[in-house]
Amino acid sequence: MEQKYEQFKGQPRLPKSVVPKRYGIKLKPDLASCTFAGTVEISVDVVAETKFIVLNAADLTVSRDGVRFTSGAKVLEVLEVQLFEADEIMVVEFSDNLPLGVGVLCIAFEGTLNDKMKGFYRSTYEHNAEKKNMAVTQFEPADARRCFPCWDEPACKATFRITLEVPTELVALSNMPIVEEKRDGIIKTVHYEESPIMSTYLVAVVIGLFDYVEDHTSDGIKVRVYCQVGKENQGKFALDVAVKTLDFYKKYVALAVHCIKSSYSFAEVFFCALQYYVFLGYYLYFAEPYSLPKLDMVAIPDFAAGAMENYGLVTYRETALLYDDKHSAASNKQRVATVVAHELAHQWFGNLVTMEWWTHLWLNEGFATWVSYLATDSLFPEWKIWTQFLDEITEGLRLDGLSESHPIEALWRLIMRARLMKYLMQLAIGKVHLLSACCKAILVRNAFSCGPLIALFSFAGLGWKLSKGELFSIGEEVDSRSTTNLMSSVSRALASYIKQYSCSNAKTEDLWAVLEEESGEPVNQLMNSWTKQKGYPVVTVKVNDENLEFEQSQFLLSGSHGDGQWIVPMTLCCGSYDVRKNFLLQGTYESLDTKEFLLCSHSKGRLAETGTWVKLNVYQTGFYRVKYDDELASRLRYAIETQCLSATDRFGILDDSYALCMACQLPLASILTLMGAYKEELEYTVLSNLISISNKIARIAADAAPELLDDIKLFFINLFQYPAEKLGWDPKQGESHLDAMLRGEILTALAQFGHDVTQHEARRRFDAFLNDRHTPLLPPDTRKAAYVAVMQNVSSLNRSGYESLLRIYRETDQSQEKTRILGSLASCPDPDIVLEVLNFLLSSEVRSQDAVFGVHVGIKGRETAWRWLKENWDHISKTWGSGFLITRFVSAIVSPFSSSEKANEVEDYFASRSKPSITRTLKQSLERVHINAKWVQSIQTEKHLAEAVQELACRKY
């Protein structure tokens, strides 16, 4: 390759000498041959002297004769067109410098409708018993380049006018409404309105056979849900949620105005300001809450992620959009609602104002998730969705407790540095394409593991009490006048910010800067301590006479000591939620005099003598763990038993204790004893986490203390008897949504732990379901429990239950039912059956997007799954290696092991087979194996564990 092109290879981002302004895209897909042809006319602004135009292109065929550049009446000669596969760029060289100013770049191209669920790809479905293809786009984060040559970076915003040439019988959708449609025999040419200015990753096209349901918002915006022919009724729930959510976002403007006019402390002001930024600001500057004339939502049979927020044309997995009250569980209904609300929030936060670069994706995703819970809570307050939001926090804490975690923002800089060294060398091994000139966007996709850290945006440093929608200050109270002045300054700053960045791009620092300048508060310093370093702290608290002493250190699940330090917004209450204190822990140590608490709580004597409980991180609004000394921990157990604590705090105490136990900072006997305090727990979120922790403890106990496993399972069975008896198998008239979800989880847990009564009843109801798919004995909420119970009793000598489940799988056309079955099959304890299940996942009967649901095997199937992964790695790597789904195979199969020897074996195997798409996941999975191994060793050294387990197992609840 000539030296002149070297300047463009391996660069972090595209050159800025030529800037796109408007795209005219024409696509002609052939759904039979799975190919497409197209042309793109890009109006550009040449802002610096150059003989080259460099843009993104991947998996496309472009010839020199198919490229033309005009400036006014002048046509410039194209010397050469080069496509660089590794960098996914296209370089067009001209004989002379391009004239400065406006020009038009025209490119003809061809491509393949791939089966990788990215770029412009094909999805399959059946219509009248005939298999057909549809054409679908998925461009985030950097795959628009696989559909048309473009500046595929979020900051390179432009407008788009799209034209599609398709068979007349098909539905053809894009971001904007149809402006003209011309028919010529069996082909129609569909022209769409020009889009607002937006990034390439938000462009969308869907072509196929669909039915739809339709409604309108109060503003007259047309909303449609498209799905496979015959499934339109399953789109009605999502349609209703979408219409109400759009109207809610409009009405929320009034709430933001109310908050703006009220007097709050800085944290509350900041909270309101961010809402003001998204809602009120958009309303003031764009005159309507949703800026497009229509909103289409489409269920795609083959879809890698959950959903994608394409401007005006949101695409979903079927399981995330369709709801059937006869076959969908309550958990499916909740998922549809939250996912729809999340994607619609992106129509503002992400689509209208877009992050300048993927570095700031955390802010984009974080706020969309937070707002989706806000909308869902408004539509379904009985779901207590804010309490369930704790699950998002927990996932973030568990990921960020790894040494192989990463700072939300610095990840991208790390990738860019690694790209020049280790990852660049691995290109030759893995043949992994760079998804962007910045870094391999395969790693960009891995950065979506930042998703669980959305909790940080909502909680860290802000001290918001979300459980009841109330707010409280993180610092000292300020008078009304200063608060009002502060609010006024924040409002001015945000108005300026929105005016500057609307229909444009912004960085995290841009928001912090304007807020800090106008408010005079250290917003940047506080938030940087959370976004620019990885991890989070554990705050250790102990009683010393009349003082509470606090110490922060970085929390790592490995038990190692990190050197991170944070500005931690501390909240605590003492004996009552009315007796509270809020302060900032800015150093390593802090001491707090408790005399004022004792006075307020009417307690007599010193704190050390009163027995009063103390709870830190009130309502779990902070992104940190808490470790209590033995005395304080004992008081909290009593507070749980006597129902003195909120559900969020009961959740937090349990989750922190479990994490500390895994990190070998608390003995297993301690967490088991704590779990016994939840014997009368009925709150869904708390019990759901209790079930999850029980399953994980049972797995680690199988390796650490197999002789105690039966007693540990008996303890868990006894622990869950109370809620199980309250709920029963049959839904009750008028019962809550949360009870419906909890019933399924409780019964599934009892089946997994080998509860004879549950397993027997499950098989009885399953047999009835086999004979009559409409029997009320097995509604959707309890089917997984029955399926798991059936598989617990399947073996090579007794295959009937397995064969029956496969029959149900093959007969149903419900995606949610299929994934429910896949998630149950691998729970079988027989390794031979597990191997059959794993091989079934690779068959044509399982969509590639769904295979990952069946790889979570039980403890007895670990070795079988590992051998299977090695034997099929080439196929798995080829099929899933270009997307993030391959990481699910690695994490699900590797992470459950618990010996250093197995970690070494895995590491040796992947030494010559790893690829950038799994590098981070593999490191994190191996770290989890080492954590498990250390945990096993710690459990084996506990002197009184056996006595504690036997005592707990003998308790009757």
What gap in Å lies between CA 244 and CA 226, rounded to an integer?
18
> Range with the lowest mean pLDDT among 395-409, 513-527, 528-542, 773-787?
513-527
> Which pLDDT value is given to residue 943?
92
> Which pLDDT value is given to residue 948?
96
Top pLDDT among 286 and 60 is at: 60
How many Cβ atoms from other residues are within 10 Å of residue 632's Cβ? 21
Top pLDDT among 185 and 250 is at: 185
In the predicted model, is pLDDT for residue 223 greater than 90?
yes
Tell me the range of 422-426, 570-574, 668-672 where mean pLDDT is highest.
Answer: 668-672
- Over residues 81-100, the mean pLDDT reads 95
- Size of the chain, expressed as the number of residues it contains: 957
Annotated binding-site ranges for Zn(2+): 342, 346, 365
How open is the CA angle 623-584-472, to the nearest 5 degrees? 75
> Range with the lowest mean pLDDT among 81-95, 161-175, 407-421?
407-421
Among 198, 12, 10, 14, smallest CA distance to 92 is for: 14
Q: How many CA atoms lie within 13 A of 254 on its CB side?
A: 4
In the predicted model, is pLDDT for residue 342 greater than 60?
yes
What gap in Å lies between CA 504 and CA 286, rounded to an integer?
13
> Range with the lowest mean pLDDT among 168-182, 558-572, 664-678?
558-572
- Over residues 451-465, the mean pLDDT reads 32
Peptide bond into 141 cis (omega under 30): yes
Please give the helix or strand (H or E) that residue 870 lies within, else none: helix 862-871
In the predicted model, is pLDDT for residue 41 greater than 50?
yes
What gap in Å lies between CA 119 and CA 44, rounded to an integer?
23
If you search the block for the tokens 């009835």, which residue do you land on? 768
Q: SS3 string of 803-840?
A: HHHHHHHHHCCCHHHHHHHHHHHCCCCCHHHHHHHHHH
Is-contact 537 564, C-beta < 8 A?
yes
In the predicted model, is pLDDT for residue 298 greater than 70?
yes
Q: Which of 343, 518, 761, 927 is catalytic?
A: 343
In the predicted model, is pLDDT for residue 352 greater than 70?
yes
In the predicted model, is pLDDT for residue 228 greater than 70?
yes
Give residue-wise pLDDT tens across range 14-40. Answer: 999 999 999 999 999 999 999 999 999
What gap in Å lies between CA 516 and CA 356, rounded to an integer?
20
User: Quick one: DSSP state of residue 280?
Assistant: I
Band (2; pLDDT cuts 50, 70, 90): low
What gap in Å lies between CA 377 and CA 380, rounded to an integer?
5
Give residue-wise pLDDT tens across range 697-734. Answer: 999 999 999 999 999 999 999 999 999 999 999 999 99
In the predicted model, is pLDDT for residue 851 greater than 60?
yes
Band (422; pLDDT cuts 50, 70, 90): very low
Please give the helix or strand (H or E) that residue 558 lies within, else none: none
What gap in Å lies between CA 88 and CA 145, rounded to an integer?
8
Top pLDDT among 249 and 256 is at: 249
In the predicted model, is pLDDT for residue 363 greater than 90?
no
Is-contact 195 21, C-beta < 8 A?
no
Annotated binding-site ranges: 342, 346, 365
Q: What is the DSSP string of 878-940?
A: HHHTTSTTHHHHHHHHHTT---HHHHHHHHHHHTTT--TTTHHHHHHHHHHHHHHHHHHHHHH
CA distances from 814 to 230, 293, 510, 553 (A): 12, 32, 46, 48
Give the tokens for residue 334. 């909740």
Among 858, 862, 854, smallest CA distance to 888 is for: 854
> Which pLDDT value is given to residue 258?
42
> Range with the lowest mean pLDDT among 549-563, 607-621, 652-666?
607-621
> Which pLDDT value is given to residue 424?
24
> Which pLDDT value is given to residue 358?
84
User: Quick one: DSSP state of residue 171?
Assistant: E
In the predicted model, is pLDDT for residue 496 greater than 70?
no
In the predicted model, is pLDDT for residue 477 greater than 50?
no
Please give the helix or strand (H or E) that residue 311 lies within, else none: none
Is-contact 878 917, C-beta < 8 A?
no
> Range with the lowest mean pLDDT among 400-409, 512-521, 941-950?
512-521
**Is 343 part of the annotated catalytic residue set?**
yes
CA distances from 25 to 160, 292, 352, 365, 846 (A): 7, 20, 21, 29, 34
Average model confidence (pLDDT) across the chain = 85
> Which pLDDT value is given to residue 608?
58
Top pLDDT among 288 and 844 is at: 844
Beta strands in 545-677 (DSSP E): 547-554, 568-574, 580-585, 589-593, 614-616, 625-628
> Which pLDDT value is given to residue 355?
84
Among 285, 84, 262, 122, smallest CA distance to 196 is for: 285
CA distance between the termini of the chain:
76
Band (658; pLDDT cuts 50, 70, 90): very high
> Which pLDDT value is given to residue 391?
87
> Which pLDDT value is given to residue 392?
81
> Which pLDDT value is given to residue 956?
76
In the predicted model, is pLDDT for residue 243 greater than 70?
yes
What gap in Å lies between CA 45 and CA 54, rounded to an integer?
13
Give strand pairing partners of 189.
165, 182
